[in-house]
Structure 1
Amino acid sequence: MAATEQGFVVIGAQSTLFSITNLRTMETIERGQYPVAIGEDIFATHQIEPDTVDTLVAALAAIARVFADYGVTKLSVVGSHSFYEAHNAQFVRDQILSRTGWQLQPLTLSQESFYRTQAVLAKFPNFSAVTQDGTLLIDISSGSVELTAFTQGEFGFSRNLSIGPLRVFEVMSDLQRSVPNYVAVMRDYIDSRLVDFMRLLPKDIHYPNLVLMGSALSMFETLIPTGDVTVETDSEGLALIYHEVTHASDQYLSDQYDLTPTQTAQVLPTVLLVYRLVQVLKSSRLWISNLKLIDGLEINTAVAANSPAVTIDPTKEILISAQNLSERYQVDIKHRDSTVTFALQLFDRLRRLHGLGRRERLLLQIAATVNDIGSYVDTHKHYEHSDYIIQASELMGLTAAEQRMVATIARYHSSDTPQTDLSDLRELNSRRRLVIAKLSALLRVADSLDASRQQKIQKIRVSVQPTRVLLSATANDDVALEKWTLRRKGQFFAAVFGLPIELKGRTRV
């Protein structure tokens, strides 16, 4: 098997999916799934039961035989966020490792959102043209719903809600036999969870288009012709489905759409959610897509491998997500942009000094974008507030460790300084601690260059000399405050890189 072909496995709430993909051409060599419904255990008891673990391991063993038949040796095996909601998830993860030899990688909600968005950007037909008008991507998995807004062909923002259909069914199952108006109660429950998302939508943008995708769309997927990625319908077509589902028995739905009992239980909450969004947003066009999380995982891996078959920019949505977070907390936009510019210039011109790569550059750019959001809570020790807000937020596309790193870099961009031996960062491994120190040092310098918040410095030249790093600034005003600030905040730069850093300013007349 060619080195460009890789195996992928995604353990989701309802099934375990696998694929073999040629990363150079994005050709799917093999794809399939095993119906292992760990979500039934998780949402009912918060545990993955031993019998379910045995079934999951058997499915993974079968997938391993398929990979072996194709000669696939390079694998990516991930567990969805739903998997890690189980209280015994770490124990199950260890059992999978010991019984299959596969190391299961966790996904955060923001990573899942990122991968699904990548799948749509790369594979949805004419997506750029569709999203010129307001478009809402609705990804429905068993445990959660990801709502992602696009307008004028660009990503807007994303929000995850814990109203996946299987979760809703488990939460409300005791009501089904005790209330006469079960559909109305479930509708009210879903509406109550949509309130926060609707509040975030820009008031001046209409969303006529909805794109529906996800692992919980068993009934909708029967409407997609074999070989197609998407099918288009309208609000009237959805209204007919809504009328059918709200008046049909579970047995009828199961027989009509060839659904398992678990899939049948999710039909009503799924249709209710989509129908309510169509009504509230006054949407007129609906696309149903069979794209899934595994498609985005393939795309992202291909991008990392510099595949010529994928042309999307993998960082664009990540940076927009960070900018949205900074604007939500009303940072000083001009200072933010100035700090980002200086931080990236320092990173690029001091590569031989820090030895870091593209991913670390992205983390610095994100940290420079969001480092001041804590001022929304209190300007006093705002860096501490920035730390916990970032950790509690959804930054699209970052791993849990990377989000922790960004939060820590933001914390140390101001007067708070990590201990010289980095002993206060022991929860992170030694490499990540060193990266945090280097990026924090660069961000402290960048922030100092606009200490007055007046953008006095138009450009800088960076010179690495035997005994110092010299910044030569061209400014439109006196930069005495910036020099004084850098003398204080630049001490950590000297500790990390072994060279003091100085600012020399030249005022442009």
Structure 2
Amino acid sequence: MDEKILGVVDLGSNSFHLAIVQEDNGRLVVIDRMKSMVQLAYGLTPEKLIHPNTREKALTCLAQFGERLAEIDRKNIRVVGTNTLRQLKDPSFMREAEAALGVPIEIISGKEEARLIYLGVIQYVDLHDQLALVIDIGGGSTELVLGDKDKLLRSSSLEVGCVRLAKQFFFDDKISKKQVHAAALYLETELQPIHPHLTSDPCQYFGASGTIRTLREMIEQENLGEEEITATALKKLLKILLSLGTVRAIERRFDLTTERARVICSGLLILKAVMEKFHLEMVQPVDTALREGMVLDLLGRIHKEDMRDLTIESLVHRFGANIEQAKRVEATSLYMVDKIELSAPYLTSPRRYLGWASLLHEIGLAISYHRHYKHSAYLVEHADLDGFSRTDQKILAAILYNHKRRFNPDDFEYLPDFTMALTLILRISVLLHRSREPQPMPEFDFQYTKKKITLTFPPHWLDEHPLIQQDLQLERDWLKEAGIKIEWA
């Protein structure tokens, strides 16, 4: 396998995209692309399940993607799901989707999506020392991201995208003044909570996504403009779409696929509403966005410049955790995990999760000592953590919630098998460092099976540490309730 080949997959609400990229002396060269307008948002039922027809279309596409990814090193692959998959309540679809792809799918938050979009755009444009507002119109949501060079300042997610809007207002494949007026009023309401000071002057405005690129092509075809999309050009293009009146007529006039023609009026109305909200005269379309951001973020992980490490460090400092104690616990946790073998179906190694959990295990003390482990878990599960997927956060939260007192195996039911083992390791490490003293731990043996833990310390060491021996006896009682045996000598 070529170490310099990377694969990224963006499972959007409108389209599924795959990009294969080669790293060549610091340059990134796209060597293959695949795309399918699955329009997952159209197939999302009121019960948050996927309609059978859309399900079949999605799984067929993912199987094709999986075949293309099969020859790429797993650590060089990243797959993310966005708005529609965030809403989904259909575990069986996710299992089938991951089986078809052959790699796990990360469901990312709106804030993480915004960060990756901004990262993907900002590397390929010249800002002239100005701020940048990036507008990305997806199928299920629209992301607005303000940044200063490589620093993201603010972001906001509009819970409406081109597929969702089309499904609600243009479901009969017709485009009428009445429908356009109703959709425009709806967008005005949706945009109302977004503060107009999301933008600042001087600022450049960029439009990312296939919808915006298609609008630019349509504007050029009608001789309404060239490189940039202006507010005037959008108004004139809307009049043309109204005169055409149907999706079929739009499809023929602009040589679009049926799927694209069905959502392009919705995309136009979203961009028009955003531009009116912020009094923008012009938006500059760009050809990069989420996928390029994923590639750059993945490269950072490969080259040991992982955004997630910075996020953990920031969280530890923000909540005033004792970093010396956290690092002692981390060192002992990693010492133990290195003594056993854990299956790792996820792209992030179990060792990484354990290290992060060890560093974070006391952040809940910022709220209260009483049940601080629960507070730590809550903060990690519900905070916006740059670089982390929702699954990442659930894994960390489960470890933190169960690292003290009662141990509940049911909390790990839908998580990777290694999560339970990591939790047990953290429990023991925290127990061994209860004194909070800086003395180094001696070398000791650690063995683990799913139902049994064995610890072997140097002779007489436990006799010299009666409090640890007492805590181990209490730990034996807690784990016995969960059907797990712990022995020590």
Distance 2:334 2:56 in 1: 51
Measured after TM superposition, the shift of residue 407 of structure 1 is: 3.7
Unaligned runs of 5+ in 2: 221-225, 338-349, 445-466, 476-489
Q: Secondary structure at the match of 1:196?
A: coil
Q: Does 1:248 align with 2:241?
A: yes
TM-score by length of 2: 0.66
Which residue of 336, 349, 366 maps to 2:318? 336
Aligned length: 429
Distance 1:422 1:447 in 2: 22
Measured after TM superposition, the shift of residue 135 of structure 1 is: 2.7
1:12–1:492: structure 2 CA closer, same or farther, 3 Å change rule? farther
Q: Does 1:168 align with 2:169?
A: no
Residue of structure 1 equivalent to 2:394: 404
Measured after TM superposition, the shift of residue 169 of structure 1 is: 1.6
2:81 alignment partner AA: S
Residue by residue, what CA displacement relative to the aligned partner does 1:319-349 show, whole Å, maximum 9, x if unpaired? Answer: 69x76xxxxxxxxx9x836427446654676
Question: Within 5 Å, which residues of 2 pair with 1:224-373?
Answer: 233=228, 237-246=230-239, 248-249=241-242, 250=245, 253-283=250-280, 286-306=283-303, 314-315=307-308, 318=311, 336=318, 338-339=320-321, 341-342=323-324, 345-346=327-328, 353=335, 357=351, 360-362=354-356, 371=364
Aligned partners of 1:367 and 1:410 also within 8 Å: yes
Aligned partners of 2:353 and 2:396 also within 8 Å: no
Measured after TM superposition, the shift of residue 404 of structure 1 is: 1.9
Q: Secondary structure at the match of 2:276?
A: helix
1:56–1:2: structure 2 CA closer, same or farther, 3 Å change rule? same
Residue of structure 1 equivalent to 2:31: 29
Aligned partners of 2:117 and 2:289 also within 8 Å: yes
Residue by residue, what CA displacement relative to the aligned partner does 1:203-245 show, whole Å, maximum 9, x if unpaired? Answer: 9x557333221244352353799xxxxx9637xx233223421
Residue of structure 1 equivalent to 2:418: 431
Measured after TM superposition, the shift of residue 163 of structure 1 is: 0.3
Question: Within 5 Å, which residues of 2 pair with 1:458-473?
Answer: 462-466=438-442
2:387 alignment partner AA: G
Q: Does 1:214 align with 2:209?
A: yes
Aligned partners of 2:132 and 2:149 also within 8 Å: no
Aligned partners of 1:14 and 1:38 also within 8 Å: yes
Which shifted more, 267-276 or 381-390?
A: 381-390
Measured after TM superposition, the shift of residue 166 of structure 1 is: 0.9
1:343–1:437: structure 2 CA closer, same or farther, 3 Å change rule? farther
Aligned partners of 2:134 and 2:207 also within 8 Å: yes
Aligned partners of 1:150 and 1:156 also within 8 Å: yes
Aligned partners of 2:9 and 2:18 also within 8 Å: yes
Aligned partners of 2:326 and 2:360 also within 8 Å: no
1:172–1:426: structure 2 CA closer, same or farther, 3 Å change rule? same
Which residue of 174, 185, 190 maps to 1:188? 185
Measured after TM superposition, the shift of residue 315 of structure 1 is: 3.8
Distance 2:416 2:72 in 1: 31
Q: Secondary structure at the match of 1:397?
A: coil
Identity, in percent, stands at 15
1:212 alignment partner AA: G
Pairwise CA RMSD of aligned residues?
A: 5.0
Q: Secondary structure at the match of 1:268?
A: helix
Distance 1:59 1:367 in 2: 41
Which residue of 141, 146, 149 maps to 2:143? 146
Distance 1:221 1:244 in 2: 10
